Structure 1
Amino acid sequence: FSEMREAEELVDVYLVFNGKLVPCHKVILAGNCEYFKRMFLSKMNESSAREVNLKGINATHGELVVDYLYSKDIEITEDNAQGLLEASSLLMLDKLKKKVEHFLIGQLEAENCVSILNVARFYQLETLLETSLKFLCDRLHKIIDTMELEELTKDDLVNVLENHATKEACFILDMKTLEWGVLSPLHRPMCHSLVASVSNRLFVIGGTPNPTSISTGVHFIESGRLNWRPRTPAPEDCRGASAATLKNKVFVVGGASNSCMAYDTLVDAWAILERPQVLFTYKASLEWNGKILLLGGTEDD
Structure 2
Amino acid sequence: MRHSDEMVDVVLVFEETRVKCHRLVLAASCDYFRRMFQADMQERDAGEIPMKDVSSNTGLLLVEYLYSGNIQISTENAQELLAVSDRLLLTKLKKCTEEFLCEQVASTNCVSLKNLARLYGLETLIEVTHSYLNDHWKKLNDMESEIDQLTEDDLIALLTTHGSDEDSFLLLQKWVRSSQERTGRFMDLLQNLELTLFSQEFVCRTIMSDELMQNPKGMKIIQEAMESLVIANRKESLVVGDFKGNIWFFPFTKCKFYSVTSSSDGFIVSGGRNANNATRRECYAYVAHTRQWRTLPPMSVGRYGHASICDQDEFVVVGGCKGLDDFLNSVECINLKTLKWSQLPNLPLAQMISNVVYVQSQLFVIGGFTSSTTVSRDVHLFDSTEREWQLRSPMPEENEGHAVPFDSKIFILGGKSKCCMQYDPCTDMWIQLQRPLFKHAGASAVVWKDKIIVCGGNRTDSIEEYDPQSDKW
RMSD: 4.2
Structure 2, unaligned runs of 5 or more? 177-181, 214-221, 237-250, 257-264, 271-281, 285-294, 306-441, 445-453, 458-473
Instruction: Answer whether contact 2:164 2:197 (CA < 8 A) is retained.
Output: no
Instruction: Answer whether contact 1:234 1:270 (CA < 8 A) is retained.
Output: no
Tell me by how many angstroms 1:132 deviates. 0.7
Letter in 2 for 1:93: L
Tell me by how many angstroms 1:150 deviates. 2.3
Letter in 2 for 1:98: K
Letter in 2 for 1:170: S
Structure 2 partner of 1:119: 116
Structure 2 partner of 1:57: 54
Q: Against the structure 1 CA distance between its residues 81 and 271, is the aligned structure 2 distance closer, same or farther, given a 3 Å change threshold?
A: farther
Match of 2:254 among 234, 243, 246: 234
State how far apart, in whole Å, the 2-side matches of 1:80 and 1:248 are: 61
Alignment of 1:24 with 2:31, yes or no, is: no
Structure 1, unaligned runs of 5 or more? 217-230, 237-244, 251-261, 280-301
State how far apart, in whole Å, the 2-side matches of 1:263 and 1:119 are: 51
Structure 2 partner of 1:72: 69
Structure 1 partner of 2:153: 155
Indicate the SS of the match to 1:14: strand
Match of 1:178 among 177, 185, 193: 185
Structure 2 partner of 1:42: 39
Tell me by how many angstroms 1:30 deviates. 0.9
Normalising by structure 1, we get a TM-score of 0.64
Letter in 1 for 2:150: L
Structure 2 partner of 1:144: 141
Superposition map of 1:274-285 within 5 A? 277=455
Instruction: Answer whether contact 1:198 1:248 (CA < 8 A) is retained.
Output: no
Tell me by how many angstroms 1:271 deviates. 5.9
Structure 2 partner of 1:13: 10
Instruction: Answer whether contact 1:235 1:270 (CA < 8 A) is retained.
Output: no
TM-superposition CA deviations, 1:116-145 (whole Å, max 9, x none):
122212222222122112211110122222
State how far apart, in whole Å, the 2-side matches of 1:247 and 1:60 are: 69
State how far apart, in whole Å, the 2-side matches of 1:116 and 1:20 are: 29
More RCO (CA 8 Å, sep 6+): 1
TM-superposition CA deviations, 1:268-287 (whole Å, max 9, x none):
979679679469xxxxxxxx
Instruction: Answer whether contact 1:62 1:87 (CA < 8 A) is retained.
Output: no
Instruction: Answer whether contact 1:18 1:57 (CA < 8 A) is retained.
Output: yes
- Higher-Rg member (1/2): 2
Identity %: 34
Indicate the SS of the match to 2:18: strand
Instruction: Answer whether contact 2:98 2:122 (CA < 8 A) is retained.
Output: yes
Size of the aligned set, in residue pairs, is 236
Indicate the SS of the match to 2:53: coil
Normalising by structure 2, we get a TM-score of 0.42
Alignment of 1:100 with 2:97, yes or no, is: yes
Answer with 64-73 or 151-160: which moved more: 151-160
Structure 2 partner of 1:223: none
